[in-house]
Structure 1
Amino acid sequence: MRYKADYKQQKRQELLAISGQVAKKHGFQTTGVDSFMKAAGVTSGAFYSHFSSKNELFKALLENELQRSVHLWQKNPHDELAAWVDFELERYLSEQHLNHPDQGCILPTLATEVARADNEIKLAYQQELIRGYQLFEQHLGDAQLAWGFMTQLVGAILLARSMLDDNIRRSILESSKYFIHTALKQHQPQNEF
């Protein structure tokens, strides 16, 4: 059977998307290649026509997921700072994101696994994350605010997901929104917020 020229690339993107969902829900290191491929509806043998190792899958998955996050941040329709910030807070610190890690950002789900990975993985992760950071810095106009904003978002989701009580989970999200607004008000001209 003859496949279209872009079939292999499309299949690889499909495998990365599905593997990303599985990894964000169950963890990457604790999930075997067979489980990733089963979720994608292909044989484990098909894995090796796309990736030479599980480590290569991890690197590609991280790059793909972070590119997806950057794309979402780029799609924020607001230019005015307060509206831009509110859009990001409502999108990221949402109950949808909180309750569906498989559909959300990779940062709160796999950052600890990246921290234990080799330098090649860390470098790939860092390079893609820097692209997202630069968007935040561009909008906020301050390097420290950009890192602070991003880490507050990620930390809030991570901490809220670790709580059993829904009221505490929601309180963490709302408190983080309040904290970010307060920090930004202290660093921005009064007319911005």
Structure 2
Amino acid sequence: MRYKSGYKAEKRQELLDISGQIAKKNGFSATGVDSFMKAAGVTSGAFYSHFSSKSDLFKALIENELQHSLQMWQDNPHQDDAEAWMDFELNRYLSISHVERPDHGCVLPTLASEVARAEIDIKQVYQAELLRGQHLFMKHLGSEEKAWAVMCQLVGAILMARSMADESIKLLILESSKQCIKAMLQKAS
């Protein structure tokens, strides 16, 4: 059967997007190739026409997810106003919907611990893509240290909020993190 031009690339992207959602919700290591492919509506055999191994899928998934985050940060409508840019990101990232929908959120709070246990080539892809995002934060915050501090606070707040059973504590974590980041940035100005 002949497929239209670009079909394989489109299908690969679809597999990455669906696998990313499942991995962020259930964990990458805990999910088998069969589960990823079933969710995408393809056979496990089709997996190998796109990826050489589960590790290859993980590397591509991490790269895809971090590029998606970078694109969101680049699409922030306040590119010329650092304070408004940061407020927009704080409100977007530190939201209850981000806490409750890990499958549609940032890969960092969900899969960073799995990357930490991964092979060096996966860590290198993760680092390269994360550094691109960190440079964007640095551009708006004016320093490398502030960029890392804010990014770590954002990820940690989501992770902590997700681990709480009580909705009011989740909201407190999110709001206190916003206020702490804003205070740190105002004090450093």
Query: Normalization by structure 2: what TM-score?
Result: 0.99
Three-state SS of the structure 1 residue aligned to 2:160 is helix
Give the Å deviation of 1:80. Answer: 1.0
- Provide the residue aligned with 1:106 in structure 2: 107
User: How far, CA to CA, are the matches of 1:3 and 1:36 in structure 2?
Assistant: 22
- Provide the residue aligned with 1:122 in structure 2: 123
Give the Å deviation of 1:33. Answer: 0.1
- Provide the residue aligned with 1:155 in structure 2: 156
Three-state SS of the structure 2 residue aligned to 1:5 is coil
- Provide the residue aligned with 1:23 in structure 2: 23
User: How far, CA to CA, are the matches of 1:182 and 1:23 in structure 2?
Assistant: 34
The number of residues matched between the two structures is 188
**Mapping of 1:127-146 within 5 angstroms?**
127-146=128-147
Three-state SS of the structure 2 residue aligned to 1:129 is helix
Amino acid at match of 1:98: V
- % identical equivalent positions: 66
User: How far, CA to CA, are the matches of 1:114 and 1:82 in structure 2?
Assistant: 31
- Provide the residue aligned with 2:76 in structure 1: 76
- Provide the residue aligned with 2:176 in structure 1: 175
User: How far, CA to CA, are the matches of 2:97 and 2:162 in structure 1?
Assistant: 12
Query: Normalization by structure 1: what TM-score?
Result: 0.97
User: How far, CA to CA, are the matches of 2:131 and 2:18 in structure 1?
Assistant: 24
- Provide the residue aligned with 1:39 in structure 2: 39
User: How far, CA to CA, are the matches of 2:65 and 2:130 in structure 1?
Assistant: 10
Deviations 1:24-62 (A, max 9, x none): 000000000000001101100000000000000000000
Q: Larger deviation: 155-164 or 79-88?
A: 79-88
Amino acid at match of 1:159: M
Does residue 63 in structure 1 map to residue 63 in structure 2? yes
User: How far, CA to CA, are the matches of 1:151 and 1:96 in structure 2?
Assistant: 19
Runs of 4+ in structure 1 off by over 3 angstroms are: none
Unaligned runs of 5+ in 1: 189-193
Give the Å deviation of 1:165. Answer: 0.3
Unaligned runs of 5+ in 2: none
- Provide the residue aligned with 1:2 in structure 2: 2
User: How far, CA to CA, are the matches of 2:135 and 2:125 in structure 1?
Assistant: 16
Amino acid at match of 2:38: K
Amino acid at match of 1:183: M
The alignment yields a C-alpha RMSD, in angstroms, of 0.5
Deviations 1:118-164 (A, max 9, x none): 11110010000000000000011111000001000000000000000
